[in-house]
Amino acid sequence: MDLKQVLKNTRFLLRYHGAYNQVPKAVEEMCELITELSKNYGHSTSKEKIQDEIADVIIMMLQMAQLFGFDEVRKRIEYKLHRQNKRISLARKDFYDTKVAEAFEDNIHYGE
């Protein structure tokens, strides 16, 4: 099933069940995922159970995105991913600059 069909199906679910029912259902599904992920720390759950809960949460989050403005949510996702990538890039640059400075000070030549 492609993304277009997934969105069509989640839109149908939201309209069929209604926002009044689906918002608390989204909370419930997120709680179930939290529970399974917490169990995983102790290795007392299966990978399959976690995958099922992730699927449930994604289905509900797609409905919530449609309910609260899919395009706006998509823009927020893009912004947040860009911000994280920028932070990682800066952290890597700081790490690299620090290592280069240390190598220079210690007369160590990296890559040899």
98 shares its domain with 51: no
Q: What is the pLDDT of residue 100?
A: 58
Confidence of residue 44 (pLDDT cuts 50, 70, 90): confident
What CA–CA distances, in Å, run from 102 to 28, 69, 96, 107, 112?
51, 49, 10, 8, 16
Q: Which 3 state secondary structure label does DSSP give 70? A: helix
Domain encompassing residue 91: 70-112
Tell me 71's DSSP state: H
The average pLDDT across 1-20 equals 95
Give the CB-side neighbour count of residue 54, counting CA atoms within 13 A: 7
Average pLDDT of the chain to the nearest whole number: 86
> CATH no. for residue 53?
1.10.287
The average pLDDT across 8-19 equals 97
pLDDT digits (tens, 9 = 90+) for 76-99: 999 998 888 888 887 777 666 666
Residues in the chain: 112
41 shares its domain with 20: yes
30 shares its domain with 62: yes
